[in-house]
Amino acid sequence: MTKDEVLAKLVFDVELRGLSKNTQNEYYSRVKGFQDYFNKPATELDIEHIRQFLHYLTKEKKLASGSVNTYNSALRFLYGITFDINLAIKKIPRHRKHRKLPAIFTQEELQSLFNACDNLRDKCILMTLYSAGLRLSEVAALKVSDIDSKKMQLFIRNAKGSKDRYAILSQANLDILRTYWQAYRPKEWLFYSRNNTGTHLTTKAVQNVFHKYVTKAKINKNVTVHSMRHSFATHLLESGIDIFRIKQLLGHTDITATCFYLHLVKIESLNVKSPLDQMTELDKANG
């Protein structure tokens, strides 16, 4: 079997299980990287090669734990499902994730970011990302028909985990989207590619827009497009919205994923006293 034949069989199995297009692309690229590293089809490689490759990704390429785990998952799928080989899983353990707290925008920084936009389309993209707490791929693939101004919601199709959901549509976001529609008259896709391909924006194009205006607004934080979603959830928590409603808005399956945002809330916004202060106050009152 050639390297291309291995990849074709992998894609067939991913599609057969109804896994998302993102998962298909991820597994394809990870397995391709594995085969290219050894310049051999995976049928000629075994678990020792997998161990060597994962070690290379960790020690030489210095990939983050989460990234190494995506290669691990793809190779487990390839050998376990596509090749029907029983791997000694204990010999290729997943990395423990060391999740650092991400940088969060202040609302003042977000206003500076929006004000820095010199293009109506770009401003709409950034405002929609933040105001609805969308993922990168979700804002890129929005359709005009996904906007429901009566119910004040956005329909997010085929989101993470191949699930549809509804996201909040803010009044300020709707106002600028109406101005945008009058100026650009988009038909199917809300944000079209400028390459005249008739398709929606690529995720890379959204990233380029984001970083252009972060630089222009002189925001000196290690932020990514996903920081907009983090900021949306954190600001909702700080304003008193309960964690269960935020879970629904973000489209999380597990509440533990949403609870991560509890770590990002500013201590002063909690309005909580340390029990030591309470003891001290009680002692003074009794003294």
9 catalytic? Reply is: no
Confidence (pLDDT) at 245? 87
Residue 226 is among the residues annotated as catalytic for this protein: yes
CB neighbour list of residue 270: distance below 8 Å, 6 or more residues apart: none
Q: Are residues 39 and 136 in the same domain?
A: no
pLDDT at 281: 72
Q: Which residues in the chain show pLDDT less than 50? A: none
* 79 and 112 part of one domain: no
245 is catalytic: no
Check whether residue 56 and residue 160 sit in a common domain: no
Assigned domain for 98 exists: no
pLDDT at 149: 94
- Find the CATH number of the domain harbouring 236: 1.10.443.10
The verdict on 117 and 56 lying in the same domain is: no
Does one domain contain both 85 and 114? no
Tell me the three state secondary structure of residue 134: coil
User: One of 3, 123, 229, 235 is an active-site residue; which one?
Assistant: 229
How many domains is the chain partitioned into structurally? Answer: 2
pLDDT reported for residue 263: 72
101 found inside a domain = no
Tell me whether residue 287 is in a domain.
no
71 plus 212 within the same structural domain: no
pLDDT at 266: 67
pLDDT of residue 122: 95
For residue 235, indicate whether it is catalytic: no
* 44 and 160 both lie in a single domain: no
218 is catalytic: no
Res 273: pLDDT: 64
Residue 132 · residue 168 · CB < 8 Å: yes
Q: What is the pLDDT of residue 18?
A: 86
Same domain, 127 and 256: yes
Residue numbers of the domain that contains 17: 3-91
Catalytic residue among 94, 95, 160, 216: 160
Cβ atoms of 33 and 76 closer than 8 Å: no
Looking at 91, 124, 155, which one is the last position of a domain? 91
Exposure b/e, 83-119, CB count within 10 A at least 16 = b = beeebeeeebeebeeeeeebbbbeeebbebbbebbee
The CATH number assigned to the domain holding 63 equals: 1.10.150.130
Same domain, 209 and 246: yes
Query: Residues 91, 94, 100, CA angle at the centre, nearest 5°?
Result: 155
Catalytic residue among 135, 165, 235, 247: 135
To the nearest 10°, report the CA torsion of 61, 138, 125, 206: 30
pLDDT score of 276: 67
Q: Do 139 and 124 touch, CB atoms closer than 8 A?
A: no
Structural domain contains residue 67: yes
Active site residue 135: yes
Q: Identify the bridge partners of residue 159 per DSSP, sorted by sequence position.
A: 163
Letter string b/e over residues 149-176, b meaning 16 or more CB atoms within 10 A of that residue's CB: eeeebbbbeebbeeeebbbbbbeebbeb
**Is there a single domain that holds both residue 158 and residue 32?**
no
Res 95: pLDDT: 84
d(CA 256, CA 261) in angstroms, rounded, equals: 10
